[in-house]
Amino acid sequence: MYTQAMDTMGKEAGDARPALRSAEELRRQEEFDARIDAGEFIEAKDWMPDHYRKTLLRQISQHAHSEIVGMLPEGNWITRAPTLKRKAILLAKVQDEGGHGLYLYAAAETLGTSRDQMLDALHTGKAKYSSIFNYPTLTWADMGTIGWLVDGAAIMNQVPICRCSYAPYARAMVRICREESFHQRQGYDALLTMMQKGTEAQRAMVQDAVNRWWWPSIMMFGPPDDQSPNSAQSMRWGIKRVSNDTLRQKFIDATVEQARVLGVTLPDPDLKWNEERQSHDHGAIDWAEFWRVIAGDGPCNQERLGARVKAWEDGAWVREAALAHAAKQAPVKAAA
Ligand SMILES: [Fe+2]
Ligand SMILES: [Fe+2]
């Protein structure tokens, strides 16, 4: 999953667009702009403006971190899945998320930053990940709801990135989106089973999970367009293809019908069909909560980061052993 926080981090010092330094650089910039305008893809070895590189690096690394941190809320339920079938599905899904993180770290590395640097930024709290993973998973219904709403929102966000102007990112996203589609369906299927074949208590559990995840899910599309200062530049560069509000609206419109089939209520009394706009109107989103969670004050921020740092430290011996093994093998391979 996830891209939400990607345009919320552009206010750092040193992030201002650098002045062009030479006629040569100006020529290259013009050439680059023309390639973007012509819809061409940019490869890792091509010249690119510094700001384009930094913007992509920030977005792709935050996306990678989100996939890896996103394994935690669901990983928590693997041992408590209700059946062997659901356990196997959840295991496969969480493993997919780990794979997504790895494709994305690899794509970000092509921009010149090492994986160790990116992980260090995550572990020291400098890098962000999607705020959705700072909410707790209280019941088994949360597993289905995350698949349905969180992976569903992720797909809506990520399909346009398959056409991102930076080719290594676009290629990673094609594969990721295929797997996200499975994630969304397994979640919906788990909820449908509980709603149609479950007990009254299980149906109430589904409704409770939907009540808790709905608003954080629609926040995943990021701040409103008029409060998203980096979006225009990202659109200009073909990194972002569709605006936050447009994607959010598409997601809401698609989800309302799915909720009806499922038999749950979306927790927004102002959610209603607008005949004139041919779309749903919705209630006000609590952006103060969004910014608070991004800034580190969500229900699980400390727990999530603590778990990542512990996993990194506990895994040190594996990395050391792998490096020692590679060093031993190097002379053998060179002699062969
Ligand atoms: Fe994913
Ligand atoms: Fe996913």
Rounded CA-CA distance 161/246 in Å is 14
pLDDT at 25: 86
Q: Angle CA(122)–CA(128)–CA(134) in degrees, nearest 5?
A: 100
Q: Is the pLDDT of residue 248 over 50?
A: yes
Cα-to-centroid distance, 97 and ligand 2 (Å)? 6
Q: Is the pLDDT of residue 220 over 90?
A: yes
Cα-to-centroid distance, 155 and ligand 2 (Å)? 8
Confidence of residue 24 (pLDDT cuts 50, 70, 90): confident
Cα-to-centroid distance, 124 and ligand 2 (Å)? 25
pLDDT at 19: 59
Q: Look at the pTM and tell me if it is higher than 0.95.
A: no
CB atoms within 10 A of CB 39: 9
Residue 232 near residue 241, CB atoms below 8 Å: no
Cα-to-centroid distance, 273 and ligand 1 (Å)? 31
Cα-to-centroid distance, 132 and ligand 1 (Å)? 13
Q: Is the pLDDT of residue 12 over 90?
A: no
Which tokens is 44 given?
A: 């890792």
Cα-to-centroid distance, 234 and ligand 2 (Å)? 24
**Average pLDDT value for the chain:** 92
The mean pLDDT of 260-265, rounded to a whole number, is 98
pLDDT tens-digit readout, 104-126: 999 999 999 999 999 999 999 99
Name the DSSP letter for residue 49.
-
Lowest mean pLDDT among 119-128, 288-297, 324-333: 324-333
Residues in the chain: 336
Q: Is the pLDDT of residue 4 over 60?
A: no
Cα-to-centroid distance, 245 and ligand 1 (Å)? 22
Higher per-residue pLDDT: 124 or 16: 124
Contacts of 45 (CB under 8 A, 6+ apart): none
Residue 328, SS3 per DSSP: helix
Cα-to-centroid distance, 297 and ligand 2 (Å)? 24
Confidence of residue 11 (pLDDT cuts 50, 70, 90): very low
Cα-to-centroid distance, 230 and ligand 1 (Å)? 24
Cα-to-centroid distance, 77 and ligand 2 (Å)? 15
pLDDT at 7: 45
Q: Which ligand is nearest to the CA of 101?
A: 1
Which tokens is 212 given?
A: 């808790």
Rounded CA-CA distance 26/30 in Å is 6
Rounded CA-CA distance 98/170 in Å is 18
Cα-to-centroid distance, 6 and ligand 2 (Å)? 17
Cα-to-centroid distance, 102 and ligand 2 (Å)? 13
Q: Is the pLDDT of residue 21 over 90?
A: no
pLDDT at 2: 54
Q: Which ligand is nearest to the CA of 100?
A: 1
Cα-to-centroid distance, 97 and ligand 1 (Å)? 4
Cα-to-centroid distance, 277 and ligand 1 (Å)? 32
Lowest mean pLDDT among 6-20, 123-137, 149-163: 6-20
Cα-to-centroid distance, 67 and ligand 2 (Å)? 8
Residue 286 near residue 298, CB atoms below 8 Å: no
Q: Is the pLDDT of residue 51 over 60?
A: yes
Which residues share a beta bridge with 279?
274
Cα-to-centroid distance, 268 and ligand 2 (Å)? 25
pLDDT at 229: 76
Cα-to-centroid distance, 132 and ligand 2 (Å)? 12
The mean pLDDT of 13-34, rounded to a whole number, is 75
Q: Is the pLDDT of residue 149 over 50?
A: yes
Confidence of residue 5 (pLDDT cuts 50, 70, 90): very low
Q: Is the pLDDT of residue 164 over 90?
A: yes
Q: Which ligand is nearest to the CA of 184?
A: 2
Cα-to-centroid distance, 282 and ligand 2 (Å)? 25
Distances (CA, A) of 152 to 124, 245, 303: 30, 16, 25
Q: Which ligand is nearest to the CA of 97?
A: 1
